[in-house]
Amino acid sequence: MSLFSDKAFIVDVLTPVALDQAYSYAVPAGMALEAGDVVHVPFGPRETIGVVWEKREAPSGGASNLKSVRAKADAPALAEPLRSFIDWVARYTLSPRGSVLRMALRGPEVDRPERVQIGVRLTGPLPKRLTPGRERVIAAAEGGLLYSKRALSDLAGVGVSVIDGLIDEGTLVPEAILPGSIAERPDPAFATNLFSDGQQAAVDGLVETVKTGEFSVTLLEGVTGSGKTEVYFEAVAEALRQGKQALILMPEIALTGQFLDRFERRFGTRPAEWHSGVSGRKRERTFAALASGDARVIAGARSALFLPYAQLGLIIVDEEHENAYKQEDGVHYHARDMAVVRGRIESAPVVLASATPSIESRVNAAKGRYKHLLLPERHRGRPMPEIGTIDLKSDAPARGKFLAPRLVREMAETMERGEQVLLYLNRRGYAPLTLCRHCGHRFQCPNCTSWLVEHRFRRALMCHHCGHVERRPDNCPACQAVDSLTACGPGVERLSEEVAEAFPQARVLMLSSDMPGGTERLRREIEAVAAGEFQIIIGTQLVAKGHHFPYLSLVGVVDADLGLTSGDPRAAERTFQMLQQVTGRAGRGDTKGRALLQTYDPTHPVIQALVSGDSERFYREETAQREKAGLPPFGRLAALVISANDRQPAENHARMLTRTAEAPQDVQVLGPAEAPLAVIRGRHRFRLLVKTPREFDLQSYLRHWIARGPKPTGNIRVSIDIDPQSFY
């Protein structure tokens, strides 16, 4: 025995629950543990998994008062940079470290050894008794391929019991289906691209940052269709050449079948994927393949930031301005900002790509904190779409209709030329409000301060905040009037009706996440649109992002004013970005694109910026306003939402909390105010907004305040949102 082997150790183990603290456990003799290892530990009356955060020598005399680690789990360890990242995110967002850890452990179901899937192969003798079902199975399985039971029963149109019967007879023989590799190695030399001079300069700039292998942030700004994706692929190629991994974050990863195909054309294989649509087993394998370094490139949703990369060499944040990067429940983090943090911790370059960057990133670039690469032109000199307005005051749609006569005419002409039209309306369902013509009754959600949205396709009234669903009654529930209920305002379903009336012959597709079939269906539909199979596409923001529809030449924005009227300080920026994106879908193929914005206020600065194409001016003015108001990125904001099952306790707590706030110079505590959405899921909500200068240590300030302030009792909860993106 060596001199050191009988040293006793203590480990501090962080568990994936909403606690900040790591707890100490004794390490049983003979168990080799290091920081980062995943372990099983007793935790209250139960056992839980956790991660060793720190390891130290036990004081002489041992640690007999501590419980012991039960076992080391069979899961990849969390390397030091990932642990630092978790600590950092927890500190920044004021979340318990355990809650952040939970996001990093969501992948594997630790210690459930990978269930081997059993398939069947036709090798045995024919069964004694042949039924039509059995015959179909045998016909389908002929050729001796290995099928999963499910696949074979689907193929033959029989129940799984028929398959089981044939296994009993020895006709089908069970056999393990070995999991394929999670991702083939992408080949940086698989294909090459000819770049324009402008693109090449950006490629060189990005490749250079990856070559240095140091942390840096580059804003890659290029108009829609300028080739940003092709350009950042070269940065990925450089990371691959160095034997490193690349993470590509995307806001709507589940819908980016087109992106995966493009990746395959460049690298010979698809990247690994990480999003909510990836099933349990595949998640586990992806997790392990990243930890071992086997998987090289992953395209993922924001949660991919917390994966255990073996050697991260590059992070790309595509459409960096997207709101979807902000997580609005649990740990309130912004994936773009945290990508920059992870990049710094891993010494990896970060690339932020967008046609319409956030003001935050623009300012960081202008101040020299970020590098700035520009692609001012569309690929192959294709012109930007021409953007015009339709003034709804003078060119009003017919009663109960939402398309102005001029838009309808332009749609007809576009289709005559064999080109596609996209109608954009960011409103799901049939109508945002239903009311009784007789007594004025409006349908409101019983749990939230919001109107119920009619969904004709589902024959229901739905709340978009809590998911409450009720049947649409035939009579008014308040006055019992018959046939008195009217839909107010348009949703995409109602728009589809109007389009079908105006163009009964047209092939129309409504793209909506509310249709059955989920992500798979949407992916197929988007491919069909790209292939030119539809003439008119109607959609919400699902259709606006990133897709390449070469036959699309006219974009009609049904309500360009939607979004401009909210009290959100980013309303103008958001609307500008959204409309720039959606109009940017037009004219990416061989025909010139046009976009028409229906608006009541054609002189609004956002509409003017879009029409003139002078986005510089818009950014300049918007940035100046932010600076004047001390709003991000020139100042810092935190929102506190105080909620309770009843209104009074929520309000009282919010007031008490406000009273205990210290307001040093330059710090403003605004509120409490009842939230615009005063009730969500039956919880009454009050908001406080803290506004400070940029250099101010907002986190310490909040931590001290909360520690000093009144403790929430009963069902009162205080949730803190640093850099809030939503203000409802």
Q: Which partner from the list Zn ion, ligand ADP, none does 222 bind, CB cut-off 5 to 8 Å by kind?
A: ligand ADP
Q: How far is the CB of 445 from Zn ion (least distance, A)?
A: 3
> Which residue minimizes CB distance to ligand ADP?
227
Q: Which partner from the list ligand ADP, Zn ion, none does 466 bind, CB cut-off 5 to 8 Å by kind?
A: Zn ion
Give the residue with the Cβ less far from ligand ADP, 33 or 250.
250
Q: Which partner from the list ligand ADP, Zn ion, none does 448 bind, CB cut-off 5 to 8 Å by kind?
A: Zn ion
Q: How far is the CB of 450 from ligand ADP (least distance, A)?
A: 35
Rounded Cα distance between 86 and 80, Å, is: 10
Segments of 61-122 assigned E as strands: 71-72, 117-122
Stretch that binds ligand ADP, among 121-129, 220-228, 616-624, 719-727 (CB under 6 A): 220-228
Q: How far is the CB of 648 from Zn ion (least distance, A)?
A: 21
Interface residue with ligand ADP, options 23, 43, 195, 705 (CB under 6 A): 195
Strand order in the sheet with 668-680: 668-680, 683-693, 635-644, 717-722
- Tokens 């398959």 found at: 163
Q: How far is the CB of 194 from ligand ADP (least distance, A)?
A: 6
Please state the three-class secondary structure of 587-629 as a single string: CCCCCCCEEEEEECCCCCHHHHHHHHCCHHHHHHHHHHHHHHH
227 binding ligand ADP? (CB under 6 A): yes
Q: How far is the CB of 355 from ligand ADP (least distance, A)?
A: 6
273 binding ligand ADP? (CB under 6 A): no
Rounded Cα distance between 83 and 76, Å, is: 13
466 binding Zn ion? (CB under 5 A): yes
Give the residue with the Cβ less far from ligand ADP, 226 or 327.
226
Rounded Cα distance between 512 and 610, Å, is: 26
- Do 256 and 408 contact (CB within 8 A), yes or no? no
Measured between alpha carbons, how far is residue 332 from residues 95, 104, 142, 478, 724 in Å? 8, 15, 54, 40, 8
State the angle between helix axes of 132-141 and 149-156 in degrees (0 to 180), rounded to the nearest 10: 120
For residue 642, count CB atoms less than 10 angstroms from its CB and return exposed for 0-12, middle for 13-18, buried for 19 or more: buried
DSSP-derived 3-state class of residue 485? strand
Give the residue with the Cβ less far from Zn ion, 90 or 461.
461
For residue 676, count CB atoms less than 10 angstroms from its CB and return exposed for 0-12, middle for 13-18, buried for 19 or more: middle
All residues at 6 or more sequence positions from 156 whose CB lies less than 8 Å from its CB, including other chains: 133, 136, 137, 139, 140, 141, 162
Q: Which partner from the list ligand ADP, Zn ion, none does 230 bind, CB cut-off 5 to 8 Å by kind?
A: ligand ADP
Instruction: Give the count of residues interacting with ligand ADP (CB under 6 A).
Output: 14
Interface residue with ligand ADP, options 270, 379, 427, 626 (CB under 6 A): 379
463 binding Zn ion? (CB under 5 A): yes
Rounded Cα distance between 413 and 594, Å, is: 12
Q: How far is the CB of 361 from ligand ADP (least distance, A)?
A: 16
Binding mask 443-462 for Zn ion (x = CB under 5 A): --x-xx--------------
342 binding ligand ADP? (CB under 6 A): no
Measured between alpha carbons, how far is residue 383 from residues 196, 220, 274, 592 in Å? 15, 20, 35, 7
Q: How far is the CB of 138 from Zn ion (least distance, A)?
A: 53
Q: How far is the CB of 195 from ligand ADP (least distance, A)?
A: 5
Q: How far is the CB of 220 from ligand ADP (least distance, A)?
A: 9
Give the residue with the Cβ less far from ligand ADP, 205 or 227.
227
- Do 496 and 507 contact (CB within 8 A), yes or no? no
Rounded Cα distance between 708 and 202, Å, is: 51
Stretch that binds ligand ADP, among 159-167, 190-198, 529-537, 602-610 (CB under 6 A): 190-198
Site residues (CB under 6 A) for ligand ADP, limited to 618-647: none
548 binding ligand ADP? (CB under 6 A): yes
Closest CA to 289 of 311, 259, 258, 320: 311
Task: Report the run of H or E that residue 132 belongs to, with start and end.
Answer: helix 132-141
Stretch that binds ligand ADP, among 38-46, 194-202, 391-399, 518-526 (CB under 6 A): 194-202
589 binding ligand ADP? (CB under 6 A): no
Between strands 38-43 and 71-72, the pairing is antiparallel
The C-alpha R_g of the chain, in whole angstroms, comes to 29
Binding mask 24-43 for Zn ion (x = CB under 5 A): --------------------
Stretch that binds ligand ADP, among 221-229, 344-352, 388-396, 467-475 (CB under 6 A): 221-229
Q: How far is the CB of 526 from ligand ADP (least distance, A)?
A: 14
Q: How far is the CB of 424 from ligand ADP (least distance, A)?
A: 17
146 binding Zn ion? (CB under 5 A): no
193 binding ligand ADP? (CB under 6 A): yes
How many distinct helices (H) and strands (E) make up the chain?
19, 30
Rounded Cα distance between 726 and 227, Å, is: 31
Rounded Cα distance between 580 and 595, Å, is: 10
Interface residue with ligand ADP, options 205, 225, 308, 724 (CB under 6 A): 225
Q: Which value, to the nearest 10 degrees, does the dihedral of the CA atoms of residues 339, 344, 350, 355 take?
A: 60
Site residues (CB under 5 A) for Zn ion, limited to 484-543: none
194 binding ligand ADP? (CB under 6 A): yes
23 binding ligand ADP? (CB under 6 A): no
Q: Which partner from the list ligand ADP, Zn ion, none does 226 bind, CB cut-off 5 to 8 Å by kind?
A: ligand ADP
Interface residue with Zn ion, options 262, 406, 438, 465 (CB under 5 A): 465
Rounded Cα distance between 677 and 726, Å, is: 11
Task: Report the run of H or E that residue 91 belongs to, with start and end.
Answer: helix 80-93
Q: Which partner from the list ligand ADP, Zn ion, none does 719 bind, CB cut-off 5 to 8 Å by kind?
A: none
Give the residue with the Cβ less far from ligand ADP, 221 or 721.
221
Stretch that binds Zn ion, among 174-182, 206-214, 437-445, 640-648 (CB under 5 A): 437-445
- Do 348 and 211 contact (CB within 8 A), yes or no? no
Please state the three-class secondary structure of 10-32 as a single string: EEEEECCCCCCCCEEEECCCCCC
Q: Which value, to the nearest 10 degrees, does the dihedral of the CA atoms of residues 196, 197, 200, 202 take?
A: -110
Q: How far is the CB of 480 from Zn ion (least distance, A)?
A: 25
> Could you give the residue ranges of the DSSP H alpha helices within 417-556?
492-502, 518-530
Stretch that binds ligand ADP, among 19-27, 81-89, 192-200, 459-467 (CB under 6 A): 192-200
Q: Which partner from the list Zn ion, ligand ADP, none does 465 bind, CB cut-off 5 to 8 Å by kind?
A: Zn ion
Closest CA to 224 of 496, 615, 491: 615
Site residues (CB under 6 A) for ligand ADP, limited to 153-182: none
Interface residue with ligand ADP, options 93, 153, 199, 426 (CB under 6 A): 199
Q: How far is the CB of 229 from ligand ADP (least distance, A)?
A: 3
Q: Which partner from the list ligand ADP, Zn ion, none does 445 bind, CB cut-off 5 to 8 Å by kind?
A: Zn ion
Q: Which residues pair with 50 in a beta bridge?
A: 39
Q: Which partner from the list Zn ion, ligand ADP, none does 696 bind, CB cut-off 5 to 8 Å by kind?
A: none
Q: Which partner from the list Zn ion, ligand ADP, none does 224 bind, CB cut-off 5 to 8 Å by kind?
A: ligand ADP
Stretch that binds ligand ADP, among 62-70, 193-201, 269-277, 488-496 (CB under 6 A): 193-201
356 binding ligand ADP? (CB under 6 A): no
- Tokens 């025995």 found at: 1
DSSP state of 58: P
Interface residue list for Zn ion (CB under 5 A): 445, 447-448, 463, 465-466, 468
Interface residue list for ligand ADP (CB under 6 A): 193-195, 199, 222, 224-230, 379, 548
